[in-house]
Chains A and B, each alone.
Chain A
Amino acid sequence: MPRRVAITGLGIISPLGLNLADTWKSLSEGRSAIGPITSVNMSRVPMKIQNGAEVRGYDPLQHFEGGKEAYIDRFAQFSIVAAREAVRDSGITLTPELREQGAIVCGSAVGGQAAIEAGFEDLYVQGRGRVHPLTIPKTMANAGASHISMDLGIAGPAYTISTACSSSNHAIGQAFHLVRDGAADMAITGGSEALFTIGMLKAWEAMRVIAPDTCRPFSKDRKGMILGEGGAMMVLEPMEAAKARGAKIYAEICGFGMTADAHHLTQPAVHGPARAMRAALGDAGLQLEQIGYINAHGTGTPGNDPVETRAIREVFGPHADKIGVSSTKSLHGHALGAAGAIEAVATILALHYGILPPTANYTERDPECDLDYIPNQARAAQVEAALSNSFAFGGLNAVVAFRRV
């Protein structure tokens, strides 16, 4: 008999705030964190990309002692900061048994590529003969999961999933199944990303998918995505164990669906995302009418938004018009492998507080995007269940379902 799984702790460091309370405040007030990029020396090379959603005001020395911050890439630092907050928030006691078999499943698309880029600068630009000695362990994509394990002393299954922009949703789904199926009695799951470097910005610039101004998902005048960064983690426990210890339960994670488009490297498709949503609903045992909110993938590119709209219509039929659909990427940017985790936090808190975060920067209706996108203003609504969509380059789709408790 599969177990029900409760979300008992949340932690986040995002462009919207350095912790859960501040991030939720910005989300629920619809305050976008998109602005001129300041963490990169933008004058070094000609750069079309000017705006992003950066984590501002973060001081690693408040979180790491003895010079350890120099050994941990920013993306992995975010995962530790978020995991610590999530565990603290859950109030869980890490018993020897939980430490022994607790799971950690993280998502990251690019891992510590900033660290190796710094090494390339030393070698190719500065002409030095050596790179920082910890370039390898800083760069590895599993650094986030490994550091959480060492930091919190949790020694069960721990790994990282890298499926571009779906990474975190794949991670959360896998962690959910580990707890549901009894392979772990606790899991910390989510994702993190830190991608603001010249090399990364130029690579995205070359893809021609970045908006020159801001991210306007589903709006007719949308011009593309805006990059973001951050980390978000949640604590999953069997529902019965959570109730037995009197834990605060934000929501239930109840379904996960994943599919591949088998179609195109970058062009979105309708059938893959639609099948992933159906799979998540089926896994959760949810009826279409129970879904009242979808946190859309909603990148704000001309390509994604109408295709995602069609996929939602295909799955939900007439009920699609009764669902609030928002893309919070308009607020926190697209944090690639952390996007699913940040958006899961938004979705879970939307269920918990009965406030649906809006799609910001929305100005004009697009006939091809004809759903209710909760434009610009958060909406008070007690919905029963919600989906969080993530669709990746390479045609990999992952959808997570949550239910209010």
Chain B
Amino acid sequence: MGDEVAEKVIATLASVKRIPADQINLDSDLRQMGIDSLDVFTLLFELENAFQISIPDDDVRSIKTVNDIVEGIKKLLAAAPPKPDAPPPDVPPGSAAPVN
């Protein structure tokens, strides 16, 4: 695909929903894939960590396809590139319950 952002979004979505990545493409409609609002919140949370961005609530409401997410992230990255000194997220927060 040659598009790192798209690849990362699809890989994250596949991981969140436990589905094969090759069943997802940019035109995939989230609702038709059985992705509900809770899945979207979890996906955006993982993507915020992966890209070290903050996705505004207003941007979330218009998401319908995988491509909507990819384009939204690209815009956010262009507006505020990740700080070079920010530590890379090592453990997926929350989901892995690192307390234990």
Given the known interface contacts A65-B18, A66-B19, A133-B45, the answer about A71 and B98 at a Cβ–Cβ threshold of 8 Å is no
B59 in contact (CB, < 8 A)? no
A372 in contact (CB, < 8 A)? no
Range for the number of chain A residues in contact with chain B: 20 to 34
Contacts of A40 in B (CB 8 A): 100
Interface with A: B3-11, B22-30, B33-41, B72-80, which one? B33-41
Range for the number of chain B residues in contact with chain A: 20 to 34
Asked if B45 contacts A197 (CB within 8 A), the reply is no
Contacts of A198 in B (CB 8 A): 99-100
B-contact bits for A79-122, CB 8 A (1 contact / 0 none): 00000000000000000000000000000000000100111111
* Chain B proximity of A327: nearest CB distance (Å): 28
Contacts of A133 in B (CB 8 A): 38, 41-42, 44-45
Asked if A70 contacts B99 (CB within 8 A), the reply is no
Interface with B: A124-132, A278-286, A304-312, A355-363, which one? A124-132
Contacts of B41 in A (CB 8 A): 133-134
Asked if A130 contacts B16 (CB within 8 A), the reply is no
A212 in contact (CB, < 8 A)? no
Asked if B17 contacts A71 (CB within 8 A), the reply is no
Q: Which residue of A lies closest to B92 (CB)?
A: A132
A-contact bits for B61-92, CB 8 A (1 contact / 0 none): 00000000000000000000000000001010
Contacts of B91 in A (CB 8 A): 126
* Chain A proximity of B83: nearest CB distance (Å): 13
Q: Which residue of B lies closest to A200 (CB)?
A: B99
Asked if B93 contacts A130 (CB within 8 A), the reply is yes
Contacts of B39 in A (CB 8 A): 67
Given the known interface contacts A70-B95, A118-B97, A122-B94, the answer about A130 and B45 at a Cβ–Cβ threshold of 8 Å is yes
Q: With the chains together, A119 CA to B45 CA distance in Å?
A: 13
A39 in contact (CB, < 8 A)? yes
Asked if B17 contacts A118 (CB within 8 A), the reply is no
Given the known interface contacts A126-B98, A199-B99, the answer about A132 and B18 at a Cβ–Cβ threshold of 8 Å is no
Asked if B34 contacts A66 (CB within 8 A), the reply is yes
Q: With the chains together, A135 CA to B99 CA distance in Å?
A: 14
A41 in contact (CB, < 8 A)? yes
Q: With the chains together, A40 CA to B100 CA distance in Å?
A: 5
Q: With the chains together, A142 CA to B9 CA distance in Å?
A: 33
Q: Which residue of A lies closest to B98 (CB)?
A: A121
A196 in contact (CB, < 8 A)? yes
Asked if B99 contacts A134 (CB within 8 A), the reply is no
Q: With the chains together, A126 CA to B91 CA distance in Å?
A: 10
* Chain A proximity of B91: nearest CB distance (Å): 8
Asked if B38 contacts A134 (CB within 8 A), the reply is yes
Contacts of A197 in B (CB 8 A): 99-100
**CB-CB contacts below 8 Å: A20-60 with B:** 39-41
Complex A-B: 17 CB contacts under 8 Å:
A40-B100, A41-B100, A66-B18, A66-B34, A67-B15, A121-B98, A122-B98, A126-B98, A128-B49, A128-B93, A130-B45, A132-B45, A132-B93, A133-B42, A134-B41, A134-B42, A199-B99
Q: Which 5 A-B pairs have the closest CB atoms?
A: A132-B94, A133-B41, A121-B99, A118-B97, A122-B93
Q: Which residues of B contact A (CB under 8 A)?
A: 15-19, 34, 38-39, 41-42, 44-45, 48-49, 89, 91, 93-95, 97-100
